[in-house]
Amino acid sequence: MKLFGTSGIRGKFKEKLTASLSLKVGKAIATHLKGEGEVIVGYDPRTSSQVIENALSAGLMEGGCDVIKIGMVPTPVLGYATSKLQAKAGVMITASHNPPEYNGIKVWNHDGTAYSPAQEREIEKIIQEKDYITADWDNLGNSEHMNMTKMYMEDLLEHVKVEPGLKVVFDCGCGAASHITPVILRELGCEVLSLNCQPDGFFPGRDPEPTPENLKNLMDIVKVSKADLGIAHDGDADRMVAVDEKGRFADFDKLLTLIAKEKGGKIITTVDASISLDECLKEVGGEVIRTKVGDVHVAEALIKEGGTFGGEPSGTWLHPEFSLSPDGIFSALKLVEIVSKEGPLSRLLDEIPSYYNIRDKIPCPDTKKDNVMEKVKQQLPKQFTEKIQIDNIDGVRISLEDGSWVLIRPSGTEPYIRVRIEAKKEKTAKKLHNMSRSFLEKII
């Protein structure tokens, strides 16, 4: 039984994710925790979230765990609360950037890090074997409600220092941070224009994924209103993306590099991050360490290596001085802080080297992914005649002598095989993309 992907359990409500499954997951988590301690539960505004929350909480309490419900919150608040309250675990109900018909369950450790693949396999095993513990009638878990948002916001304000006067357009995408990020920015002295800042599980303003295609309104409004920058979240605000004052969507890798340069030291990132990060970190005496894709792997490496900052090019970043949970809200504030002191954003981004990037995804049923990736591992290196370096940390990454590289890896959240290309010449990038796509389509 395979329930967990790169970012918890994820799927369409009623098809993969049901109240029945949520009850089993709650019982399995309680069993894993030996029926002891408190579990924090939060959810994003999706229409199915409270159904899942109620079923999952019932399973936790049946297994003897106490449940602290913190209501509709962004993922970073859930991670923060789990660590702050020293709970045994936390559970976030969200499908993050997926469409509204999707939902998900992601589990967190007491220190605010996501459950590891090994821990997730233990949960799956308990569900598969139906090996649940059940508390007696006089030892069932209790449930209580608690508001953690105010404490989270107050702590955030202690960690950033923004020069007042910036004009920021903020698009929360009708997600869980709608009542948080704009408020904090105003507290910091920014003039904020709000866009899609009312929680709504149908996501009527735009799709939850903050892509250039979905953020055209934000890009236009930043330019027309002469704002200093625009910022957007996904549905649960574990991610942050930005638009510069010229209305240009900020390159993911450049944003990651901008924050990394500010922090210096050991920077943890994933196999799909640009080589521009390595080049810029050398200038400030920093070091880049790569992991598998997924915030859990970034968090583990931050702890192991004593990293100062960790992030994925998707806009999912971790700031260990505050929390080991991916935090799009904290990321937004740090970007605003940098722009307020060193801006404009367009200049800061243009100073970072730019290479040709292609991201693609090719449909592939989840049931075929393992077989396809085994063939990729065996056959992809044979497609190259020049000297190559092969990296199998996550999928297969082929690095060429001229600095260009190809990464093919299975999506952990959707039925796709993902392709990532980077090259210093556009012609090379297109050639590598055509080769990779043709190669994959034949295998699939």
Q: Are residues 58 and 16 part of one domain?
A: yes
Q: Are residues 190 and 63 part of one domain?
A: no
For residue 186, what pLDDT band results from cuts at 50, 70 and 90? very high
CATH number at residue 185: 3.40.120.10
Q: Are residues 327 and 195 part of one domain?
A: yes
As a whole number of Å, the CA-based R_g of the chain is 22
The Cα angle at residue 412 between residues 367 and 120, in degrees rounded to 5? 95
Q: What are phi and psi of 166, to 5 degrees?
A: -70, 145
164 belongs to a structural domain: yes
The Cα angle at residue 330 between residues 325 and 334, in degrees rounded to 5? 135
Could you give the percent of the chain with pLDDT greater than 70? 100
Q: Are residues 126 and 268 part of one domain?
A: no
What average pLDDT does the chain have?
Answer: 95
H helices of 139-266, in order, are 149-158, 181-187, 216-224, 252-263
**Structure confidence by residue, pLDDT tens digits, 313-345:** 889 999 999 999 999 999 999 999 999 999 899
180 belongs to a structural domain: yes
CATH number at residue 417: 3.30.310.50
Q: Are residues 68 and 192 part of one domain?
A: no
Based on the structure, what is the number of domains in the chain? Answer: 3
Q: Are residues 92 and 41 part of one domain?
A: yes
290: helix, strand or coil: strand
360 among the known binding-site residues? no
Does this model's pTM top 0.75?
yes
Average pLDDT over residues 79-104: 97
154 belongs to a structural domain: no
Name the catalytic one among 57, 83, 96, 331: 96
Domain boundary residue among 131, 149, 167?
Answer: 149
**Structure confidence by residue, pLDDT tens digits, 24-75:** 999 999 999 999 999 999 999 999 999 999 999 999 999 999 999 999 999 9
Q: Is 283 exposed, middle or buried (0-12, 13-18, 19+ CB in 10 A)?
A: exposed
For residue 346, what pLDDT band results from cuts at 50, 70 and 90? very high
Q: Are residues 362 and 344 part of one domain?
A: no
Q: Are residues 175 and 321 part of one domain?
A: yes
Q: Are residues 165 and 139 part of one domain?
A: no
Q: Give the range of the structural domain holding residue 43, as residue numbers without chain letter.
A: 4-149
Question: Does the pLDDT at position 354 exceed 90?
Answer: no
234 among the known binding-site residues? yes
238 among the known binding-site residues? yes
331 given a catalytic annotation? no
Inter-residue contact 312 to 273 (CB < 8 Å): yes
Q: Are residues 262 and 140 part of one domain?
A: no
318 belongs to a structural domain: yes
Average pLDDT over residues 350-376: 92
**Structure confidence by residue, pLDDT tens digits, 370-416:** 999 999 999 999 998 887 889 899 999 999 988 899 999 998 778 89
Q: Are residues 95 and 199 part of one domain?
A: no
